[in-house]
Chains A and B, each alone.
Chain A
Amino acid sequence: MNDHDLDTLFAQARTPTPADEGAAGRFLSGQQRRRTRQRNIRAGWISTLLASAAAVAGLTVLRPAPELPASAAYGVYQSAWGDGW
């Protein structure tokens, strides 16, 4: 292969073909889809995390405190009797 052949080959390689344009479009739209999907995944995790935190906080605040043992009531009663008993 001489210089002329090589020049011709390089010229052909530099010239965009319809197939090349399609490939670029496919790459760009794929890239867009991948970015959107990553954003959605990130947003999903944050939403899940926030929802979990809210649920834990809600349970902590709104859940009725556990009952005190009967000894708490008996202690008050005994205190009402006064010392010595």
Chain B
Amino acid sequence: MRTLVLGFPVLGLPVLGLPVLGLLALSGTAGASDADDLLSALKQARTLEARGTVEVTVLFPPRESPTKSAKALPRVPFRPGLLARNFGVSRMGQETVAGRRTSRFELIPKNSQAARWTLWIDQEWNIPLAYQESFPDGTPARRAMFQKVNAQPARIQVSVPVPPEGLRAALLSALPGLRLPAGIQPTEVKSRPGGGLEISLTDGVNVFALVTSPRGVRAAPGIASRRVGAGFVWLVGNLPQSALDQALAKVIRVNTAGLETLRGTFLKVDASNVQNTPDSR
């Protein structure tokens, strides 16, 4: 099973057919083992990081120059507990990334509307050498992949940001009627310069932004904005527009007093030296 590589190319990468992924997802033993292997690699990435030349491409949200170069993989705020709960993990075989042998892992979300992910894990170092986020139809949304890798990985130390206690309850109390898509949890609250709050959400891999603001925002792909009372609520993320709209459709009022007591309680991570780390949640 681990050597199966079928496929059609996406950005030059072979991708398994959906029927095979379905069979793999039904294979409980292999899925659990594969998930454990992946979580082990993500844990290893707390202390070890590959360096070299990385090509980073972001197609959602759209930007003027979608591709840039970096010396290390950008951070993905993995949360292993949520990842294991919200994704089926399958090891799909071996591939070469920047001249190094890797295992390719497919992360298929249990919420079929969420983005799926592919991770390439270095077989010797047991750390990621590439990620790809794909839309539900398989087309890429963002990707980071080493083109060249230094001979030795670098030692790093990553602090683990823990969501404030009671954040989910405070969020649902602040925005009664909010219907977060399945599996999504809030992780952080920040103040906005012009007033309002920014709440980061995750399903363990994907990231979403929920915003309370005195002003609305123009409609665009991946953005829902709804007037509630005297202000607005936005939800931004890689989900179908209908899912974003439904999440906000029943919000009846905004009272963020309870949320404001939880903002900014995060440990700050030194982004220049550290990759964001999975925690146990």
Contacts and interface: CB of A to CB of B under 8 A. Distances in A.
- The size bracket of the interface on B is 35 or more
A67 interface: yes
Contacts of B58: 85
B153 interface: no
A59 interface: no
Contacts of B72: 84
Interface string A62-85: 001111111011101111111111
B2 interface: no
Interface string A10-45: 000000000000000000000000000000000000
Contact of B276 (A74, A79, A82): A82
Interface residues of A, number: 20
B215 A68 contact: yes
B56 A77 contact: no
Given A68-B217, A84-B73, A85-B56, A73 B209 contact: yes
Contacts of B216: 64, 67-68
Interface string B151-190: 0000000000000000000000000000000000000100
Contacts of B207: 77, 80-81
A82 B225 CA distance: 22
Given A65-B215, A68-B216, A70-B219, A77 B61 contact: yes
A2 to B, nearest CB: 96
A82 B74 contact: yes
Given A73-B236, A74-B61, A80 B217 contact: no
